[in-house]
Structure 1
Amino acid sequence: MNAFLKGLPGAAKVQAHQWFFLAASVYALGMVPLAMLARHGYGPVALATPAGHAYEMLFGFALALIAGYLLGPMPARRLAGFLFVWLLARITGLIAPLEWPTVLVNALFVGLLAWHMLPRLWVAKKWRNRLLAPLLGLICAMTVLIALIGHLDYHLLARAFLDESVLLFALLMLFMGGRMLAPAVAGEFYRQGKELEARVQPHIEAALIVTVVAAFALAPLTASVSGLLLCTSGVLAGVRLLRWQLWRCLARPDLICLGVGYGWLALGLLLLGWVKLNGGAYFSTAVHALTVGALGTLAANVIVRVTLLQVKQYPSRIQPIVMLTACMSAAAILRIGADLSPHREWLLMLAALAWSGTFLQVLIIQLDCRAYVSSHRKLLRGGVG
């Protein structure tokens, strides 16, 4: 590790997404097929159980996305350190799940993440913006808490915490997705000579925050009230999405695709609320509307969008964005349908292929952009010479 860090230019700054998005894409590409193999005795034992697979989806893959999106530019050596600890946490989690090394390395990663991100986020003036700091802090805390409880053999409690942690990521997607879509749609309206009146929609955003936080807090006490609150938040998210009038942005497939991800978020909250109101059956099925449909779709679109903008390319001109979104929606539909079908194993396999195929396309786009930047730099150097 020290030899690797010495080989990096210490003073040069690198955008965190350039490394973490690439790592997240590679991890996503292999994680679901490995879980499928593990279920049949051919993959890492940690991914053979639903809890192990869910933990890596949320606190491995999703945390890498958060790091890439929010860490910003930092010295290459420091960023390499962050990435090394994240990678070490993933490796120890697959080799020795629920053991002390895994707990400690995960704690180190989220501790570094919180130390670097939270002070910058806490300076926001509006309470809705300041919510991001405690929300991310709670996600970091849950990363360690669930791993620690699992290590102490309280598996049912760890699974309960893991199930409810999905709501924290749903709230983060509601917040970040809205903050990305609203100005982008408003900009497209402006280019058309129109004005979008419903932008961030602060009252709906505030109601979403209150309902999801209350649903998370009340889940251990009353599942029915938690379910009702989640249904309410799903309706609110749907209303917010409709008020953005994305049907007027047909020339911008990138915005439509982000809207599809936000739509999965609204649907997932409704399904999860409905499941809680009806005794909790098919909880795992409903969760996949959020983890595959919403998280997968938004992650793929955000990675491609940020990567293209970094090299001064416009996402609206890249047709694969539509294919990515269609593939991920297919993965979500197949995964949800698998639990309702007698052909479960076949549908699970097709869902895994659709998920991995999506992130293979995402990875190829990132590598193409890197190759473009590299060749452009060589041309500039040749011209200067």
Structure 2
Amino acid sequence: MSTQSPIHQDFQVPLFRLAFRPFFWFSAAFGAISIALWAMAYSGRLVFSPYGGSYFWHLHEMLFGFTVGVIVGFLLTAVQNWTGVTSVKAVPLVLLFLLWLCARVMMFFPDAFSALSIAILDVLFLPAAALAFARPIVKVRLWRNLFFIPILLTLAVLNGLMHLSLSGAVAVSAPSIGYLTVLLISLVMTIMGGRVFPMFTANGTGTARVAPIAILEKLSIGSVLLSVVATLGFLNTPAIVLGLIYFFTGAINLIRALRWRIWVTYSTPLVWSLHLSYWFVCLGYGLLGLNQFQLLASASTALHAITVGGIGFMILSMISRVSLGHTGRRIAVGYTMTIALVLMLLSVVSRVALPYLLSDYALAIQVSAALWVMAFGLFMVRYAPVVFRARVDGRPG
């Protein structure tokens, strides 16, 4: 009988055989719980005093808790496919996941832990994830994917600055840092969208894959990068220039998205949802342009078009697809997840449009939040057997 530890064989706990498993499911759960708590706190139905206060906590945790958790789960899963080298799993994955989870839990109890300990633990997560991501890339010298490292480390810096903003140690405010973080995350989405959405469309609909146009790809991604740089406060970019950059970013990316042919995806929920999520990113940039020209009173609507419509909608669709593919299942969803995706679409529309249609702003927030919670709640129920059990084809991962 072999006495070798399971750690050195195929890890015996399915949840920690590949990074998408814990990070997708628990990030979805955290996102559902967080939005529910925020909606109740915003409407005055819950007295909630987390680390930094309820507004800071909502802003920080939806970006550096929910969104970053999914990004890390996706990258640490994808890098194994890209390189052919086993990604982080077993005990190292458990430790990385606990680093993420402990920071989330500690922020609920600011009186039990020092602000410094919470900040340090939280900020350490992204550099640790970047190190785990870099190892297989460096091993096979797949340098074209190394650019994700500076993105992850820049997110870590922004996270640190957001923590420092609480004490006034930096002049910039948490909302301003959050604004820039949303744009940086949209850069990740535009990069990955161009890589996989045409392929997913072709595979999901049985149609020919749309070939990229090099100049359009460069302009689409470059415009988002320019938006991030131009938004940096110390550059003092004139509002008219920044507005034009945002308009161009939204327009060129919409042209890119239209080439992916959403009209062939109507019977494929896991594909049309990805297309629509990308459209909301484009809409968000257009609305940011209107805000710079003072034609939209607040940037909040624009940012929520990107966060709820782009980030949230894209995440729900992507984690649904990736979880099926990496557990040996057929990449198709039934009624449950189709309903979840429709609910998510309604959540986006509610968050962007209802504040202008209802006199009660808090009610608009609650409607959108309830739809969000139901959408991610359905994912949690439907995908618990997927992520907590071994692959159906018996393969590792």
CA distance in 1, matches of 2:38, 2:339: 24
User: 1:321 Cα deviation (Å)?
Assistant: 3.6
Say if 2:232 is the partner of 1:216.
no
- Distance in 1 separating the partners of 2:299 and 2:372: 21
- Aligned position for 1:304: 320
Q: 1:354 and 2:381 equivalent?
A: no
% identical equivalent positions: 23
Q: 1:28 to 1:188 in 2, by over 3 A?
A: closer
Would you say 1:21 and 2:33 are equivalent positions?
A: no
Between the aligned partners of 2:26 and 2:74, the Cα distance in structure 1 is 13
Greater shift after overlay, 360-369 or 155-164? 155-164
Give yes or no for the alignment of 1:77 onto 2:91: yes
Gaps (5+ residues) in structure 1? 1-7, 378-385
Aligned match of 2:174: 158
Q: Secondary structure at the match of 2:211?
A: coil
Question: Is 1:96 aligned to 2:101, yes or no?
Answer: no
Contact 2:327 2:392 in 1 (8 A): no
Change (3 A) 1:87 1:183: same
Tell me the number of residue pairs that the alignment of Structure 1 and Structure 2 aligns.
Answer: 364
SS of equivalent to 2:129: helix
Quote the offset at 1:346 in angstroms: 1.7
Show CA shifts across 1:176-202 (max 9, x none).
Answer: 12212122223457x44xx34434x43
Out of 276, 288, 291, the position equivalent to 2:307 is: 291
Alpha-carbon spacing, 1:265–1:297, altered in 2? closer, same or farther (3 Å): same
Q: Matches of 1:370 and 1:118 in 2, distance apart?
A: 25
Q: Which amino acid aligns with 1:43?
A: F
Structure-2 residue corresponding to 1:206: 218
Partner of 2:7: 10
CA distance in 2 between partners of 1:361 and 1:89 (Å):
25
Structure 1 residues 137 and 204: CA distance shift in structure 2, 3 A: farther
Distance change (3 Å), C-alpha of 1:95 and 1:226: farther
**Structure 2: gaps of 5 or more residues:** 12-16, 78-86
| 1:303/1:362 contact within 8 Å kept | no
Aligned residue number for residue 52 of structure 1: 57
Distance 2:361 2:354 in 1: 4
User: Counterparts of 1:1-385 in structure 2 under 5 Å?
Assistant: 9-11=6-8, 12-13=10-11, 14-39=17-42, 40=44, 41-46=46-51, 49-72=54-77, 73-96=87-110, 99-118=115-134, 120=136, 123-124=141-142, 130-152=146-168, 154=170, 156-187=172-203, 191-192=206-207, 195-199=208-212, 201-219=213-231, 220=233, 221-222=236-237, 223-278=239-294, 281-340=297-356, 341-370=358-387, 373=390
Q: Aligned-pair distance for 1:293? A: 0.8
Moved more, 116-125 or 305-314: 116-125
Distance in 2 of aligned mates of 1:217 and 1:31: 30
Distance in structure 2 (CA, Å) of the matches to 1:240 and 1:215:
17
Partner-residue secondary structure (3-state), 2:332: helix
On the 8 A contact 1:99/1:151 being kept in 2, the answer is: no
Aligned in 2, Cα 1:50/1:101: closer, same or farther, shift over 3 Å? same
What amino acid does structure 2 have at the position aligned with 1:179? R
CA-atom RMSD in angstroms: 2.7
2:200 maps to a residue whose letter is A
Residues in 2 aligned to 1:184 and 1:376: alpha-carbon distance in whole angstroms:
22
TM-score by length of structure 1 reads 0.86
Judging changes above 3 Å, is the alpha-carbon distance between structure 1 residues 376 and 132 closer, same or farther for their aligned structure 2 residues?
closer
Question: Residue 291 of structure 1 aligns to a residue in which SS?
Answer: helix
The C-alpha deviation readout for 1:124-162, integer Å capped at 9, x for no partner, is 455xx5543322221122112221232345575332122
Task: Write the distance in 1 (CA, Å) between the matches of 2:337 and 2:377.
Answer: 13
For the structure 1 residues 119 and 137, does the alpha-carbon distance in structure 2 shift closer, same or farther, using more than 3 Å as the test? Answer: farther
Q: Structure 1 residues 335 and 121 mapped into 2: Cα distance closer, same or farther (>3 Å)?
A: farther
Distance 1:167 1:121 in 2: 26
Counterpart Cα distance in 2 of 1:319 and 1:354: 16
- CA-to-partner distance for each residue in 1:263-300, whole Å, 9 max, x for gaps? 11111121122212328731112111011111111111
C-alpha separation in 1, matches of 2:293 and 2:142: 36
Which structure has greater helix proportion? 1
For the 8 Å contact 1:121–1:133, the answer to whether it is kept is no
Tell me the TM-score normalised to structure 2 length. Answer: 0.83
Aligned to 2:80: none
Match in the other structure for 1:4 = none
Q: Say which structure, 1 or 2, has more relative contact order (CA 8 Å, 6+ apart).
A: 2
